[in-house]
Amino acid sequence: MIRCIWVLVFLMIAGTASSQVLNNPSQTNSIDYAQPQQYTLRGIDVQGYKFLDPNAVIAVTGLKIGDEITVPGEDISRAIQKLWDQGLLGGVDVLVSRVEGNDIYLTFNLKERPRLSRFTFSGIPKSQQDALKDKITLQRGRVVTDAVLNSTRNVIKSYYQEKSYLNAKINIVQRPDSLLPNSVVLNINVDRGDKVKIADVEFIGNESFTERKLRKQLKKTKEKRFYKIFTSSKFQQSAYEDDKENLLNFYRSQGYRDVFIVSDSVYKVSEDRLAVQITIDEGSRYYYRNITWNGNYIYDDAYLSRVLGIEPGDVYDKAELEKRLTFNPTGVDVSGLYQNDGYLFSSIEPVEVRVEGDSVDIELRVFEGAQATISKVNVTGNTKTSDHVILREIRTLPGQKYSREDLIRTRNELAGLGYFDPETIGLVPVPNQAEGTVDINYSVVERPNDQISLSGGWGGPIGAVGTVGLTLNNFSTRKLFDLSEWRPLPSGDGQRLALNVQANGKYYQSYSLSFTEPWLGGRRANAFSVSLYKTIRRIPGSENDSRLNVDGVSVGLSRRLNWPDNYFIMNHSLSYNRYGLNNYALFTDFDNGNSNSISFVNTLSRSQIDNPLFPRSGSQLSLSVNLTPPYSLFANKKNNYEFVEFHKWMFDASYFINLAGNLVLNTRAHFGFLGTYSSAANVGPFERFKLGGAGLGGGNIFVGTEYIGLRGYEDESVVNNANQTLLNAGGIAFNKYVMELRQLISPNPSATIYGLAFLEAGNSFGSYDRYNPFKVYRSVGVGARVFMAAFGLLGFDYGWRLDDLPGQQDAKRGMFHFIIGQQLR
């Protein structure tokens, strides 16, 4: 009886892994399991292996030749457990092959787990199968263990839970592979079930805010309602956890510093619906009482308090306090005040020194430290653009005091070059407080920015028009004669070379060539530009060779200003245009002869935006004055158009407001006015404002004509002119107002995409006695923009006009507009 008990005890210990220690039936010297005895291990043999290394198996057991072991005992049980823990075996039998006196020889008979041959899915579409293959870790030849199967089930369940299939069932069936020994094929059958939506979100304990207000704080945990067409109501556990934190942050921003969630539950109300219940303890609402400063010597308390902008009696909001102390994206913060003056090592710690009733006293403990000097500036990632092109834009120079404002300004100006992905420009200060210095590391990612255009379009009466254009935005004349730098063209010095050809056989040809050097002389940001252009236009079907020739040249120089601030740029340009008319009627009194236009353009502009492709904040302003000599004041001209006379004033303003994340409001206003120096002189036929459509101008391109878009209306159709015969001539004054809501869809630098909705209004006037800035034609609509490095800006809009134009009441109200290579003014 005692012998049987010992046998059972040993088998229970060693059988954890479906294993056993047996006497070899051929061995006559059997082991008495009722009386454990110590032996010297003299031999270990491994059998039954196919893929495993027998020496590695022996090493895993921990047993070595010469070890003293007790049989029966824990030595063999531990060896079996170590093998089992590897997860590679389905069974282990330990045999006593022979016993010679006190020497014992063991044989480990293994049964290996099957290995994976391949796996298949069933019950789901191929697109989801492909997505899951990238997520699960099943690999050919891997041992199929319970842990592997469970991990696979969990990954698949998590994938479908994120898609709101909370009742998904995964069944994994193993079957032997007839082609490979000890291998299995896994069939993963997925039953997704129905999507589970949120039927209701209920709040308990809320007294200060309505349930509707609180539901708005849950960004991704939304109820299913028939009218919420574009709102997802799927339940995601990770998003739900984030939303609970959003809810608490909302309460804290309203002064409820002690708020907490007592409990929350998610429960089923039907097979495809669940409900969420959140119980809140709001606590009391707190207010600032006393705000004191300690440790500040450079700035006094009153000045720091004005910058902080928080007054006693304001609602207590710890997150807002931290933002105004450390980084305020919409204004000045206290930390920025110090860091812009070199105090990189400064810090400000807000401490609640007293909480009494509903009031909180705050002490702001300031450590100012010493000013930091910039030691090194490093730039990495520019594989195409020359170092000097980047370094000349950098405002944080070695030897200067550190300034956070200059750091951010440098990032924006590097983005404005257009050579790098603006979303990935990195700037990392590396401070060395012991030496009082800081190294600044900039990193950039080059993106294609040269553009080639091959397009065709319909140019009204002249028919089809083909366009070929090449714009090199990062050209290098310095490398022009070094063939090793042609990759495929010399580039990297930031110069711009543009060539454009547009033609329709003999009826219309237009050629232009321009070059810009942004740093003339290499020492200052003085941009020099020169452009040449020629246009030939003939009237189809004309018997007397009616044509218009336009030849022009323009030279410009612009420079950055330091006053009123260093965001201003002043541009001067001198241009000469010669118009040759041969039986080409623009006005009834001018169809033959030559007309000359010499004009001087001054433009004062200011641009402070954070991203040139998709600005989220900042503004752009421009005031332009285009003047010709005042011929009419000095002499009587033989005809009004031999020398064109005018003065043209244009003002543009654009402002960007970041509403939330990548949702941006852009408001714009545009004005233009044309006039002459003498009431006896007429504004020539070449300088006009033409309003309507996409603002591209079709084939009627004159050098001096400004084409302004007004979506929802036909091209060049909007003009308030008493003389209907002069409608095509355009206006001498215009105004336009735009409100545009933009949502970034893809920040990818190879194809930056955003959608928009707009409300705009404008008008063009043929005479000043009819000018009225409030007499406008309105439109609404939606659209999208795609910026592709190789083609520039592409976009479309659908505009719906809200007003009727005089004499055009039957015109269609809605229309599509397409744009290429430019923003709508």
Q: DSSP per residue over 725-758, as a string?
A: GGGGG-BSEEEEEEEEEEEEEE--TTSEEEEEEE
Nearest Cα to Cα of residue 91 among 55, 139, 47, 31: 47
pLDDT of 7 reads 37
Least reliable range by pLDDT among 77-91, 143-157, 793-807: 77-91
Crossing angle (nearest 10°) for helices 126-133 and 146-162: 120
H helices present in 340-482, as ranges = 387-391, 404-416
> Is 26's pLDDT higher than 60?
no
With a cut of 70, say whether residue 703 has pLDDT above it: no
More confident residue, 108 or 437: 437
Residues with Cβ within 8 Å of residue 606, at least 6 apart in sequence: 565, 567, 568, 569, 619, 620, 621, 622
Q: Which range among 2-11, 325-334, 640-649 has the greatest average pLDDT?
A: 640-649
Kindly report the average pLDDT of the chain as a whole number.
Answer: 85
Helix (H) / strand (E) containing 85: helix 74-85
Say how many CA atoms lie within 13 Å of 789 toward its Cβ.
Answer: 17
pLDDT tens figures, 227-269 = 776 677 888 888 899 999 999 999 999 999 999 999 999 998 8
pLDDT at res. 34: 66
Name 710's bridge partners: 693
Alpha-carbon distance of 625 to 646, in angstroms, equals: 11
The count of other CB atoms within 10 Å of the CB of residue 313 is 9
189-238 per-position pLDDT tens digit: 999 888 888 889 999 999 999 999 999 999 888 888 877 766 778 888 88
pLDDT interval class at 14 (50, 70, 90): very low
More confident residue, 94 or 724: 94
Rounded to whole angstroms, the Cα distance separating 473 from 498 reads: 8
Model confidence at 3: pLDDT above 50: no
Read off the pLDDT of each residue in 791-813 and give the average, rounded to a whole number.
Answer: 84
Enumerate residues 6+ apart whose C-beta is below 8 A from 734.
670, 671, 672, 689, 691, 708, 762, 763, 764, 765
Give residue 52's pLDDT.
72
Q: Is it the case that residue 22 has pLDDT exceeding 90?
A: no
Residue 534 pLDDT > 60: yes
- Number of residues that this document lists for the chain: 825
Contact between residue 458 and residue 480 where contact means Cβ atoms under 8 Å apart: no
In this predicted structure, what is the pLDDT of residue 237? Answer: 86
Least confident of 484-498, 722-736, 741-755: 722-736
Inter-axis angle of helices 74-85 and 54-61, to 10 degrees? 120
Contact 711, 780 (CB under 8 A): no
C-beta of residue 216 within 8 angstroms of C-beta of residue 204: no
Rounded to whole angstroms, the Cα distance separating 365 from 409 reads: 29
- Amino acid of residue 703: V
| 788 contacts 762 by C-beta, under 8 angstroms | no
Residue 374 has pLDDT above 80, yes or no: yes
Tokens (6 digits) for 211:
């349930």
Claim: this prediction has a pTM higher than 0.75: no
CA–CA gap between residue 463 and residue 564 (Å, rounded): 50
Rounded to a whole number of angstroms, the CA Rg of the chain reads 40
Query: What's the sign of the alpha-carbon dihedral 211, 217, 218, 222?
Result: positive
Please give the share of the chain, as a percent, with pLDDT higher than 90: 46
How, if at all, do strands 287-294 and 260-270 pair? Answer: unpaired
State residue 404's pLDDT score.
Answer: 92
pLDDT higher than threshold 90 for residue 697: no
From the list 442, 470, 441, the residue with the least C-alpha distance to 455 is 470
> pLDDT tens digits for 463-477?
566 778 899 999 999
Check if the beta carbon of residue 148 is closer than 8 Å to that of residue 138. Answer: yes
Cβ 693 vs Cβ 715: under 8 Å: yes
Domains of the chain: 2-112 (3.10.20.310), 115-191 (3.10.20.310), 197-281 (3.10.20.310), 287-367 (3.10.20.310), 373-443 (3.10.20.310), 551-820 (2.40.160.50)
